[in-house]
Amino acid sequence: MDTAMGANDSRLMNARCPRASKYHPDWMIGAGCGANPVWLAEWLCEAVPLEPGMRVLDLGCGRASSSIFLAREFGVQVWATDLWFNATENHERIRDAGLGEQVFAIHSDAHSLPFAGEFFDAVVCLDSYIYFGTDVLYLNYLCHFVKPGGWIGVAGAGLMQEVEGEVPEHLRAWWTGDLYALFTAEWLRRHWARPGLVSVEVADTMPEGWRIWVEWQRAVAPENVVEIEALGADAGRTMGYVRGVARRRTEVTLVDYCWPDPLRSLPANYVRQPLLRDG
């Protein structure tokens, strides 16, 4: 990587994300997937007060660029956890960033996490929560891994308003069934508030987030004309970026909300019974 060339390269220099603008565009593009996770991490951490030494779970970390960013910028330890992306490749990227003793690549399903209860000070999910977190019981499960008073934050592609009935005409050429998993900020606030496990501190949208979305797509996938044109035509009416931040309530006992402790399997309880009435 040519340092001088990187310093003079204006690609992905964004006033909205001054911390992220220090990072080489080729590095961000090479480690990107979906939205720009580094930009989303910077936006999310305006509302999640990370401090040096905290233990952070970057859940659905993709290629771990967000994990590297969080460790470098905030001095936290990060467990870069993903199911789809190769942990060995992520470890190599982490090691090349000089963070092999601070960021740890983990291969795991978000529904079967290999961590001790109350291990993390914070959990962040960047453009990934829609793939595993919208089940009504998932927040209960995730809270078991967060210390009382700890933080849960998500940021990613979302809806500015609910899509009721027909998909808007200007989005139909791009729209696929998986986009119905996207949610609004208000939906996330209601969804998280309902079980009473967390206090929802923030549920909002990024101002002009659709422009950031388009800028990233033009950099990472300029051939993706259908998506770029659909977002341009929408101009933020329907699509953009959504953020949610919550704290685990200290006065709530999680076992009251979950059957049983999800960190353990049910105990063996087999009693032999006759199979057939006449047997």
- Residues of the chain predicted below pLDDT 70: 1-7, 255-268, 279
What residues contact residue 277 under an 8 Å CB cut-off, 6+ apart? Answer: none
pLDDT digits (tens, 9 = 90+) for 147-196: 999 999 999 999 999 998 899 999 999 999 999 999 999 999 999 999 99
Q: How far apart are CA 25 and CA 59, in angstroms?
A: 23
What local confidence, expressed as pLDDT, does residue 34 receive?
86
Q: Which of 61, 190, 189 is nearest to 124 (CA)?
A: 61
Mean pLDDT of the chain: 91
Residue 98 CA to residue 253 CA, distance in Å, equals 39
How is residue 24 written in tokens? 């080489």
Nearest to 103 by CA among 117, 116, 119, 87: 87
Instruction: State the first-to-last Cα distance of the chain, in angstroms, to the nearest integer.
Output: 75
d(CA 42, CA 14): 12
**Residue in the block written with tokens 């849960």:** 152
pLDDT digits (tens, 9 = 90+) for 220-250: 999 999 999 999 999 999 999 999 999 999 9
pLDDT at 262: 59
